[in-house]
Amino acid sequence: MRIYEGGNFQIESKEDNSPITLADKSANTIINEFLKPTGIPIISEENAETEFSERKLWDSCWIVDPLDGTKEFINKNGEFTVNIALVKNNKPVFGVIYIPVSKKLYFGNVVEGSSFKMIIDNKTLEEDLLKYAEEIFPVSAQRTIRIAGSRSHINEETLEFIEGIRKKYSQEVKVIPKGSSLKFCLIADGTLNIYPRIGTTMEWDTAAGHAICKAVGIRVFDMQTNRELVYNKQNIKNNSFVVSNLLDVS
């Protein structure tokens, strides 16, 4: 947060022309040092990629995005997040998403079938974190279907998908722009109902949010296969996907 508030982002461009800041690098170092003692290998946006010949032998791994929504960070709209997921046998089993500006923390345990949110402050840090956690639940669309729209990645295919939802359902449809993995959190807690992402994302963009949503019964599915997204693939890019608590979005 010191970097965010100070404004000295030290912005660089990666090979794919996406931005990276000092905050991405600093957060990555801190998270890697925290997770290393677990002995579980780490896939992170800011780490060197491990060859699949080695990764395919892993039955578990951490998948990390130390700063999801770098554009939101640079634009100072507060909608950037920190994503950490534990993946076992290619499926997410635990996820944590932290929103530094609002100090909100979301976490979900797929095995236990529950997700929670809470505010991290001096009081919660000094006492039992779980004491202040509020269990979250998705909410079915009644009068209004609320669709999460990307702030940075809206395209014609997404607009066509949204129009298809309007034609299929009788409820009013509202598109609410949100950045980063925050969209997953807002579906899990019932604020939003559906998030279509038509375009390329990486595993670290989705794994933590996938776990949080899956823990409360929300589908996160590949639009090409109609199956759940999987992780630690040979190609760590995701196909287009949908996160939804609507019964029919095909």
Pairwise CA distance, residues 23 & 2, whole Å: 9
pLDDT of 125 reads 66
The answer to the question of whether 68 is labelled as a binding residue is: yes
Domain 144-244 fold is: D-Maltodextrin-Binding Protein; domain 2 (3.40.190)
The answer to the question of whether 24 is labelled as a binding residue is: no
SS3 (DSSP) at 94: strand
Domain 2-136 fold is: Fructose-1,6-Bisphosphatase; Chain A, domain 1 (3.30.540)
The answer to the question of whether 67 is labelled as a binding residue is: yes
**Tokens at residue 33, please?**
């040092």
Within 10 A of 181 (CB to CB), how many other CB atoms are there?
A: 32
Is this prediction's pTM over 0.75? yes
Residue 108 near residue 91, CB atoms below 8 Å = no
Pairwise CA distance, residues 92 & 164, whole Å: 29
The answer to the question of whether 57 is labelled as a binding residue is: no
> Which helix (H) or strand (E) covers residue 81, if one does?
strand 81-88
The answer to the question of whether 189 is labelled as a binding residue is: no
Intrachain domains 2-136 and 144-244 with the same fold: no
pLDDT of 117 reads 97
pLDDT of 11 reads 59
* Dihedral (Cα; 109, 114, 117, 118), 10-degree rounding: -80
Strand partners, 241: 197, 222
The domain ranges of the chain are: 2-136, 144-244
Q: Where are the alpha helices (DSSP H) in the chain?
A: 2-6, 22-35, 52-55, 70-75, 122-126, 156-168, 182-188, 203-214
Per-residue tens of pLDDT for the chain, all 250 residues: 554 445 555 656 555 656 666 778 899 999 999 999 999 999 999 999 999 999 999 999 999 999 998 777 777 778 899 999 999 999 999 999 999 999 999 999 999 999 999 999 876 666 677 788 999 999 988 899 999 998 777 899 999 999 999 999 999 999 999 989 999 999 999 999 999 999 999 999 999 999 999 999 999 999 999 999 999 999 999 999 999 998 677 6
> DSSP per residue over 131-191, as a string?
GG-EEE-----SSEEEEEEESS---HHHHHHHHHHHHH-SSEEEEEEE-TTHHHHHHHTTS
Pairwise CA distance, residues 103 & 19, whole Å: 24
The answer to the question of whether 69 is labelled as a binding residue is: yes
Strand partners, 44: 64
